[in-house]
Structure 1
Amino acid sequence: MTEIPLDLAELRAVTAYAVACAEPALAIFDQARPADDRPRAALEAARAFAQGAKRSKAIRDSAWAAQRAYQEARDAGESAAGEAARAAVAACGAAFLHPLAKATQVLHILGPAGHAAYAFELAGGRYPVDPCALADPIVLRVLARYPKAPPGRGRAGELARELDTLLRPA
């Protein structure tokens, strides 16, 4: 498998981008489940890494907790809140982007935006950020090293692929 050069500064930039894309969806989660702070804690752990903290088990643990929040929201029929929690899970995943030339790795970069945008669709609203405008040159350079986003993954995957197309030069 081909390896992609990826340094710590790039991982931090990708993670900061992922957090910025996922964060607006917290409002949807908080409205449905105000007593559950697991997705917020996951974004805070990812943000801490993006701002210079060590990449640690705390990020993974908070991601697993946010994943449980997603499952509980989904099981309660709160699909928009569930997708908002999945955006937080995906933002944590950005900190663990692998330097492997695999299309699935692109979801570590664009998955948070895909899940957040889908959360807003399900809630009947409009995604309030432009994920293209949030992508700085470092994020664009990292994305360009990877294959295009893979097929599948439902509507969130479709939205991530649309974003992938918009962010890559024609």
Structure 2
Amino acid sequence: MVNRASEIPLSTQDLRAVTGYAAESAQEVLELFERAHPADSRPRRAIDAAWTFARGGDRGKPLRDTAWAAHRAAGEAGATAAGDAARAAMCAAAAAYLHPLADAHQVKHILGAAAHAARAAELAAGDCRGFAGHREGARRRAGPVVVEVLCRYPEAPRGGGRVGELVRDLDAALRGGR
């Protein structure tokens, strides 16, 4: 139930759909991290925790902890394809914490994993051509529930560098396909 005008209706099922979408997006590029850092399982554990929540598990401290661990792995990997793959994993686990606030920054909880996955693919390929394929894959993966949840929020905010551009592009593509 929504109590304030600034709140967005958001159910647990909505959160599970968004988190599943984010986990699937991050899963696509996990190998980029694992090839570069084969002994580091933090991003994989974050994606696994996101899948567990998406499939009916609890949204608790272990899920949050895996997101933070993937964030640390991303920091250690730096501005590389592996780093953005780990950021996608972090975003997948963090998607479960989408807030029901009419704030454009919340769009990053919905689309952050897909945007970081696209950036990881760009960095791995050495150019930006890979994004078109990732955008189409991200559009196909976003089921009607994810698109409907996205459309409850304001459009993605400005800023955020290349990943911010990718979030805005994907946001526009998903809203336009509605």
TM-score, normalised with respect to structure 1: 0.94
Amino acid at match of 1:44: D
Letter in 1 for 2:167: A
Q: Of 59, 62, 75, which aligns to 1:58?
A: 62
SS of equivalent residue, structure 1 residue 112 = helix
1:8 corresponds in structure 2 to 12
Pairwise mapping of residues 53-92 of structure 1 onto structure 2 (< 5 A)? 53-74=57-78, 79-92=80-93
Secondary structure in 1 matching 2:28: helix
Q: Deviations over 1:108-162 (max 9, x none)?
A: 0001010000001001173665100001110011001000011111111111110
In 1, distance between residues paired with 2:9 and 2:71?
29
Q: Does 1:22 align with 2:26?
A: yes
TM-score, normalised via structure 2 length:
0.90
Residues of 2 paired with 1:48 and 1:119: CA distance? Answer: 24
Q: Secondary structure at the match of 1:4?
A: coil
Deviations 1:77-127 (A, max 9, x none): x61100100001111111000000000000000010100000010011736
Q: Name the amino acid aligned to 2:172.
A: T
Q: Which has the higher contact order (CA 8 A, sep 6+)?
A: 1
Q: Which residue of 2 aligns with 1:106?
A: 107
Structure 2: unaligned runs, 5 residues or longer: none
SS where residue 99 of structure 1 aligns? coil
Match of 1:132 in 2: 139
> Which amino acid is the alignment partner of residue 56 of structure 1?
G
Which ranges of 4 or more aligned residues in structure 1 deviate by more than 3 Å?
125-129
Q: 1:41-99 deviations in whole A, cap 9, x for unaligned? A: 0000111000000101011100111111011111xxx6110010000111111100000
Sequence identity percentage: 55
CA distance in structure 1 between the aligned counterparts of 2:159 and 2:29, rounded to whole angstroms: 22
State the aligned residue count: 167
Secondary structure of residue in 2 paired with 1:53: coil
Q: In the alignment, which residue of structure 1 is the partner of 2:116?
A: 115
2:163 to 156, 162, 168: 156
Separation in structure 2 between the aligned mates of residue 150 and residue 69 of structure 1, nearest angstrom: 26
Where do 5+ consecutive residues of structure 1 fail to align?
none
Q: CA deviation at 1:26?
A: 0.3
Structure 1 vs Structure 2 CA RMSD: 1.4
Residue 169 of structure 1 and its aligned partner are, at CA, apart by: 3.0
Q: Aligned partners of 1:153 and 1:84: how far apart in 2?
A: 17
